[in-house]
Structures are given as structure tokens and as C-alpha cells.
Amino acid sequence: MNKPLLNGLILAGGSSSRMGVDKSTIRYAEKPQYVHLSNLLMPFCSTVFISGRTIPGSTIPVLTDTFEVAGPLNGILTAFHQQPAAAWLTVPVDMPNIDATLIATLVAGRNPEKSATCFYDSTGKQPEPLVTIWEPVAGKQLLDYYNKGGKSPREFLLNNPVQVLTVPDPTYLVNINTPEDLEQFRKTLQRNKPCK
């Protein structure tokens, strides 16, 4: 079966109110997180977009949220509204451990005959909706779900035919939402650095 064109979508539409700064611009390594994620996605995707907001100085094309719903569902619906024939690989800006190995695992496990391909979350019991490939068929299904009052991408995945993969390591899905989370994450990185 031919796989539809795959675009990348960096989910950056949240207000970052708990963090106090735009989470997409935090530097976990050498580059702001949105740049790091774009670089990770480019080898796997036709085009990479940012969902939700224009970032000063960024040249990555932006998809401004167009639906009346808070959260990542807005970004995913907006992406399908713009390019309904494409599949969309979504990644959130607040999971700093996402790397090329995780993206490659997701792409290799992709099942275009399902609505989506995702990982089990860090509990190993439920689908993780934000690191997911959404096939074109999901566009109409998500719109129907939204029109019936649905708001949760996880709930959608639980109630539709999806391919769910085991994440190589649950720490890939750690998310950073507060200054305390960020401080703890950086301390952990420091402790795990190899000695010279």
C-alpha cells in the first residue's frame, strides 16, 4: 500500500502559563526546542510546520489554530484543514527526550491502514496522543469527533482503529511543564554526563 505524504507538526499552541516562558524556545541542548524538533522531523517529513504561534526569528511555516477548542486537538484539526490529503506526524515542544531514534521507530511502525500510529504512554496502558502519525482518514474522523463535542486526542485514539507501539524507553515521553520540572530535568542531565 502506498503511504500518503507525511508532514511534520510541532505542537506549540499552548500558553505555557505554568512554565512562565514559551516552552518552544527553551534550550535543552544547543538550539531552541522548536528548532531541534524541526531538525529531527525533516529527514522523515515532506514539510515541517509549527502549530499555534509565530515565533520571532523562525522561518518554519506556521499553522495558526482555527478551531474553537483548547489544546492540541486544535493544531491537529487545523493541519488537516490545510492539507487533508497528507498524514501528519505530531510532536509536542515539552518532551525534551524525543530524538531521531524515537521518530524512526514511529515511522517504521506506521500502519497507513489505521487512523493513526502512536506509542503506549509512559504507563504502558494508554495511547500517547502527541507523538503520533495521523493518517488522512483521521482528518474527517477527528472533525466528526470535534463536531460532537470531543476535545481529547487520547479519547479519540481509544475509540478508533489505531496501531499502538511499545515505546523503546518510557523516559522518551517525560514532559516538562513547570520551572521545577525544568530544573529537575537539567539536574538529571548534569548527573548523567560522562566524566572526562
Q: What is the CATH number of the domain that holds 67?
A: 3.90.550.10
pTM score, whole prediction: 0.90
Band of the pLDDT at 190, cuts 50, 70, 90? low
Summarize the confidence of residues 67-83 as an average pLDDT. 95
DSSP designation for 14: S
- Whether 1 is covered by a domain: the verdict is no
At a CB cut-off of 8 Å and minimum separation 6, what does 17 contact? none
Q: Does 121 score more than 80 pLDDT?
A: yes
pLDDT in tens, 39-64: 999 999 999 999 987 788 888 999 99
Q: Cβ distance 127 to 157 under 8 Å?
A: yes
Phi, psi dihedrals of residue 47, rounded to the nearest 5°? -140, 145
Residue 181 vs residue 143, higher pLDDT: 143
The count of domains in the chain is 1
How far is 162 from 59, CA to CA, in rounded Å?
33
Domain residues for 145? 6-192
Summarize the confidence of residues 117-141 as an average pLDDT. 96
